[in-house]
Chain A
Amino acid sequence: SQQGEEDPQALSIQEGENATMNCSYKTSINNLQWYRQNSGRGLVHLILIRSNEREKHSGRLRVTLDTSKKSSSLLITASRAADTASYFCATALDRDDKIIFGKGTRLHILP
């Protein structure tokens, strides 16, 4: 079974609102990343948070990591139509070169 599981599977919000999506994982990690995928395209890296970090910001993105709960959240503030995409979390394990993805959250920003 997959390491990461995003929640919710799909999310629709009004433009300007904040969007929050969550990721839970199963085993200890070295770091966790979030990626965006626009329809029909490859994935694009958004942000990485290491296992010893609790929060990280990049522009309108805020990522938190709770290693005790094995969970992470991605907050997108002041959403825009261009944020409509699928978002995936990906985990890298300690002493392992694999990077494992979850099933993703489909985000739709309503005008």
Chain B
Amino acid sequence: DAGITQSPRHKVTETGTPVTLRCHQTENHRYMYWYRQDPGHGLRLIHYSYGVKDTDKGEVSDGYSVSRSKTEDFLLTLESATSSQTSVYFCAARTSGSYEQYFGPGTRLTVT
């Protein structure tokens, strides 16, 4: 996992509650990404960051926000969780000059 951790690894929450997932990296990667993985859809990009405080939207950003106040941490927030956000969430990171991404182990989120 090249020094990328995600927390929590599993979470069950109720519809309408806020949820924050954390991605932490120890390799000083500049770029960080959040994806969700669902059967039949593969991985879809939610948001990504190209530096501290620099973020942009991906393919499926509605209902999600992100923040990156430090190089090593990239937070994904579901402001008001919905059942359609039940998924496995993966964080990835890469350095400048290389497109090879390193992935975390994933967070399985269930919204009931």
The reply to whether chain A is a binding partner of chain B is yes
A interface residue numbers (CB < 8 A to B): 2, 6, 30-31, 33, 35, 40-45, 48, 88, 90, 92, 97-104
Cβ contacts under 8 Å, B74 to chain A: none
Q: Which positions in B face A, CB cutoff 8 Å?
A: 1, 4, 31, 33, 35, 40-45, 48, 50, 56, 58-59, 90, 92, 94, 99-106
The answer to whether A101 and B56 touch (CB under 8 A), given A2-B42, A2-B44, is no
Please tell me if the beta carbons of B101 and A2 are within 8 angstroms of each other in the complex: no
A94: min CB distance to chain B, Å: 12
A–B complex contacts, Cβ < 8 Å, 7 sampled: A2-B59, A33-B100, A41-B105, A42-B103, A45-B101, A90-B101, A98-B48
> Do A100 and B31 touch (CB < 8 A)?
no
User: In the complex, which of the residues B35, B48, B103 has the most CB atoms of chain A within 10 Å of its own CB atom?
Assistant: B103
Bound-state Cα–Cα, A103 to B39, Å: 9
* Chain A residue, CB-CB nearest to B6: A42
Q: Is the CB of A42 within 8 A of B104?
A: yes
Contact between A45 and B100 (Cβ–Cβ < 8 Å)?
yes
| A43–B99 touching, CB < 8 Å | no
Q: Which residue of A lies closest to B103 (CB)?
A: A42
In the assembled complex, the CB of A11 is this many whole angstroms from the nearest CB of chain B, namely 15
Inter-subunit contact A101/B1 (CB<8 Å): no
**In the complex, A61→B101 CA distance in Å?**
19
Q: Write the nearest CB–CB distance from B90 to chain A, whole angstroms.
A: 6
Q: B42 touches which one: A30, A92, A102 (CB < 8 A)? A: A102
Which residue of chain B is the closest to A31 with respect to CB atoms? B99
Q: In this complex, what residue of B is CB-closest to A5?
A: B42
**Chain A contacts for B103, CB-based, 8 A:** 42-44
B56, B92, B104 — most chain A CB neighbours (10 Å): B92
Structural contact, A103 and B41, CB atoms closer than 8 A: yes
